[in-house]
């Protein structure tokens, strides 16, 4: 295969290099296209545009493959834990026993929030969305740690430990603020996921000890969400970070991008869809037929994926945990019964099978979160907690490259040059 592609545009010739990835993917390097031909590419949504090279995550949507740093997601979910996977994503290799112990200890040492942050929470109105609080407080961390320097590796490591340690506390306090309960401080005796569940559901008057099944399921969900290549929020973190914005500000921007219903809000949309079906009488068949009718305006949430054209490998993993959690809680929830019926239809109906509209990770994660007791508006927050190490890894990888601020081009379609008319001359 040629190492470059030559073609002519508007009478000018361009010789563009072909770049090959380690998994056989090929890309045309168009970085000199405009300078050599005066032409740019147009790719709405950047669905065919590679904004960077990356060694963090490999995703093959056609084959249903997801790997972190070369390790299959199935093996990591079964054998690892969230902080070990976080170390892998951020540092590039699995830690040895000593490295993992140091990493976990440093994160645990930074779980407390500065007491002045309580005033920020108190200023939020009752009912403020927890994603807004999460983004705001993460951004505010840069005011509490202004000495952070992205050129000092020790400073970067410290910021990473602070973010990973404080994010569960920030998230749980957003939940407590909205329900009017006192903030619960972290416990260094508990592991990462158990500590988060404790801060969420414990109250001073009653002890709370999360079931092992709950801790394991949350740990696996966090692993499955830890990174997913160049999605909307990760690309946002990279773009903001390219301006040399600090880590806290860059992560806060990723949280804001994740908030959208087409991204991190998808599992919330699943539960809202189930509620709509339930309130309409629970007739699953009726809504399945509506989903098949393109003119109905209704679509089933939690089915299919923008990237995966096969079964989402994360959904295959979490489905088993979904069944375990429902059995553990012994919950007879009409919404969960509707979800099971929809799943059965999608797996058996030719309409869905031909279009590869399988249940995705959002479908199952929303069901698990509800069974664990999380309110719907916390679902996207849980997604953010899981995605945090991936965001950090991409920010760090981007900063190791030669500095180059992101600056997309555009095709202008507005009015051509025209003269300014005085007010009295305008019709």
The SS3 of residue 311 is: coil
In this structure, the strands spanning 71-72 and 12-20 are: unpaired
Alpha-carbon distance of 320 to 217, in angstroms, equals 10
Of 150, 145, 132, which is closest to residue 244 (Cα–Cα)? 150
The SS3 of residue 180 is: coil
The active-site residue out of 110, 225, 312, 362 is 362
Burial class (CB in 10 A: 0-12, 13-18, 19+), 216: middle
Q: Is 333 a catalytic residue?
A: no
3-state secondary structure 216-268: HHHHHHHHHHCCCCCCHHHHHHHHHHCCCCCHHHHHHHHHHHHCCCCCCCHHH
Chain position carrying tokens 């994360």: 314
**Phi then psi dihedrals of residue 303, to 5 deg:** -125, 135
Alpha-carbon distance of 388 to 227, in angstroms, equals 8
Contact assessment for residue 82 and residue 220, using Cβ atoms and an 8 Å cutoff: no
Alpha-carbon distance of 105 to 192, in angstroms, equals 11
Residues in the chain: 427
Return the H-helix or E-strand segment holding 27: strand 26-28
The active-site residue out of 228, 305, 312, 394 is 305
The torsion of the CA quartet 225, 228, 230, 232, rounded to 10 degrees, works out to: -30
Those residues with Cβ within 8 angstroms of residue 383's Cβ, 6 or more apart along the chain or in another chain: 225, 258, 264, 267, 365
Those residues with Cβ within 8 angstroms of residue 217's Cβ, 6 or more apart along the chain or in another chain: 321, 324, 325, 368, 372
Alpha-carbon distance of 267 to 224, in angstroms, equals 14
Q: Is 305 a catalytic residue?
A: yes
Q: Encoding tokens for residue 258?
A: 């994740």
**Phi then psi dihedrals of residue 365, to 5 deg:** -65, -40
Alpha-carbon distance of 406 to 242, in angstroms, equals 6
Q: Which residues are catalytic?
A: 305, 362
């Amino acid at each position: 295969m040629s190492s470059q592609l030559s073609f002519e545009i508007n009478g000018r010739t361009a010789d563009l290099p072909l770049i090959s990835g380690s998994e056989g993917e090929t890309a045309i390097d168009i970085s000199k296209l405009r300078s050599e031909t005066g032409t740019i590419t147009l790719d709405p949504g950047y669905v065919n545009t590679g904004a960077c090279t990356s060694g963090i995550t490999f995703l093959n949507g056609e084959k249903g493959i997801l790997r972190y740093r070369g390790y299959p997601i199935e093996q990591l979910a079964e054998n690892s834990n969230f902080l070990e996977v976080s170390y892998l994503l951020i540092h590039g290799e699995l830690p040895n026993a000593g490295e993992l112990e140091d990493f976990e200890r440093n994160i645990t040492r930074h779980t407390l929030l500065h007491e002045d942050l309580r005033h920020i929470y108190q200023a939020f109105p009752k009912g403020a969305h927890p994603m807004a609080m999460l983004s705001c407080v993460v951004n505010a961390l840069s005011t509490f740690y202004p000495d952070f320097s992205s050129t000092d590796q020790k400073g970067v490591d410290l910021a990473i430990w602070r973010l990973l340690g404080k994010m569960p506390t920030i998230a749980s306090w957003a939940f407590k603020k909205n329900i009017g309960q006192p903030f619960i401080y972290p416990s260094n005796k508990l592991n990462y996921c158990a500590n988060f569940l404790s801060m969420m559901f414990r109250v001073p008057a009653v002890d709370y000890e999360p079931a092992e099944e709950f801790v394991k399921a949350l740990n696996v969900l966090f692993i499955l969400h830890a990174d997913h290549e160049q999605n909307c929020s990760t690309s946002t973190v990279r773009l903001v970070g390219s301006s040399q914005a600090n880590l806290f500000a860059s992560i806060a921007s990723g949280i804001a991008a994740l908030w959208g219903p087409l991204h991190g809000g998808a599992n919330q949309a699943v539960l809202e869809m189930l509620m709509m079906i339930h309130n309409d009488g629970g007739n699953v068949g009726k809504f399945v037929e509506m989903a098949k009718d393109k003119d109905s305006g209704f679509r089933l949430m939690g089915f299919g994926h923008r990237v995966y054209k096969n079964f989402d490998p994360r959904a295959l993993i979490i489905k088993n945990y979904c069944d375990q959690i429902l059995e553990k809680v012994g919950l007879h929830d009409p919404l969960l019964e509707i979800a099971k019926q929809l799943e059965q239809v999608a797996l058996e109906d030719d309409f869905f099978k031909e279009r590869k509209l399988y249940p995705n990770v959002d479908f199952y994660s929303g069901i698990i979160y509800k069974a664990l007791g999380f309110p719907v508006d916390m679902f996207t927050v849980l997604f953010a907690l899981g995605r945090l190490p991936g965001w950090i890894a991409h920010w760090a990888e981007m900063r190791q490259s030669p500095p180059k601020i992101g600056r997309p081009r555009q095709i202008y379609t507005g009015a051509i040059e025209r003269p300014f008319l005085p007010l009295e001359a305008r019709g």
